[in-house]
Amino acid sequence: MSEPIKRLRRPALWTAGAVLLLALPFYLDRFWLQAGLFAMAAAIGAIGLNLLTGATGQLSMGHAFFLAVGAYGYCVLAGDSTATLTGLNLPSWLAAVLAVALAGVAGGLFSPIAGRLQGAYLGIATLALIFIGQHVLFNAHDLTGGFNGRDVPPLSLFGVTFDESELLVAAVPFGSAEKLWYVALLALAGCALFARGVLRGRPGRAMNAIRDHRIAAGVMGVPVARYRAGVFVLSSMYAGLAGVLLALVFQRTVPEYFGMILSLEYLAMIVIGGLGSVAGAVVGAVFVSLLPQLLTRYSDALPLVSAPGTGGVAPGEASRYLYGAAVVAVVLFLPGGLVRPALRRKTTTPGE
């Protein structure tokens, strides 16, 4: 009697979750929709980083660079040419696809280094990407708009433009956030399923083998350098897509956002959520990106936290302390991250 019920529980939970996520734009206000969109974009980027760092054991500090390539790539490819800015004026869906490809190419250019360096050494080398990225973003004015950044052209897909022109769906006005919600949800679902397939299949086993025992991986026939390079490219493309989505949500890209702190935030996401798994990346991304929003929304109700500029601890800052503490707590007490609290420190290393 209870067997079929147990077997139905998982699909039932997934269906309920999917319905809930699909219905949210009808109920949430703009603030929470933005926050949710932000979390979904971050989740895509975190899945990519978890493929590289969690599943393959290759540290990257350069994730923010590839997010920037995606975000700015989209702006340049889809944007109009003006007196001060270069734009190729491509159809926006094509620009989005090409921006992801561009992030992949950027990852490919770095992959000879990513293939040769191991673990923490790669982390140090990828710091260079942040510095190069920041320099270019601030100085290549005609591409990036320099310090002030540039506007993000709205996405249009199948004749629907994801801007503020309101569409009435079941008597609920759909602005850009509502419409983008479904694009982001679809992108996240696709990215999550793809990564899950990779992790559970032959490439995932090879990646985990490289992380757990590099020498044995080679002896078992895994071309270690080629795999590291391949995963690096894949993870760059995930970051590129996350960058495109973030740009669409923010509607403006600014260079200082894509700094070292952003790379650290993505690392915090996968450590907090759980290294090496898709669910870990998603949970961590939701945690790290919603925390500052929660603190902002309820700053007056919380002790010590106050609205920005009023003298107390600003919400952004407070959330950084909080997830800094969360990272330490997870590393010490929950090596499997939030998604696998049962995992004990001694028995296994983090991973699928």
Partner 1 sequence: MSTGAPTLEVRDLTVRFAGLTALDGIGFTVRPGTVHAVIGPNGAGKSTCFNVLSGVYRATSGSVRFGGEELTGLPAHRIADLGVARTFQNLALPPGATVEDSLMLGRHRLTRTGFVAAGLGLPYAVREEARHRERVREIAAFVGLEDQLARPAGTLPYGQQKLAELARALCMEPKLLLLDEPVAGMTAGERRATAAVVAGVRDSLGISIVLVEHDMGVVMRLADSVTVLDFGRLIADGTPASVQSDPAVVRAYLGEEATS
| Shortest Å distance, C-beta 89 to partner 1 | 31
Q: Which of residues 173-202 bind partner 1 (CB under 8 A)?
A: 193-195, 197-198, 200-202
Candidates 8, 216, 328, 329: give the one binding partner 1 (CB under 8 A). 216
Q: How far is the CB of 45 from partner 1 (least distance, A)?
A: 17
Chosen residue from 213, 256, 298, 329 binding partner 1 by CB under 8 A: 213
Q: Are the C-beta atoms of 266 and 49 separated by less than 8 Å?
A: yes
Interaction between residue 348 and partner 1 (CB under 8 A): yes
Least separation in angstroms between CB 315 and partner 1: 37
Q: Which is nearer to partner 1, 166 or 212 (CB)?
A: 212
Query: Which of residues 203, 255, 292, 315 is near partner 1 by CB under 8 A?
Result: 203
Closest to partner 1 by CB, 91 vs 190, is: 190
| Binding residue count for partner 1, defined by CB under 8 A | 33
User: Exactly one of 222, 291, 305, 314 binds partner 1 (CB under 8 A); which one?
Assistant: 222
**Interface with partner 1, residue 341, by CB under 8 A:** no
Considering only 45, 54, 204, 315, the residue that binds partner 1 (CB under 8 A) is: 204
Contacting partner 1 (CB under 8 A), which of 56, 208, 263, 289? 208
Question: Is the Cβ of residue 212 or residue 256 nearer to partner 1 in the bound state?
Answer: 212
Q: How far is the CB of 276 from partner 1 (least distance, A)?
A: 9
Stretch 284-323 residues interacting with partner 1 (CB under 8 A): none
Binding site for partner 1 (CB under 8 A): 193-195, 197-198, 200-206, 208-209, 212-213, 215-224, 230, 234, 347-349, 351-352
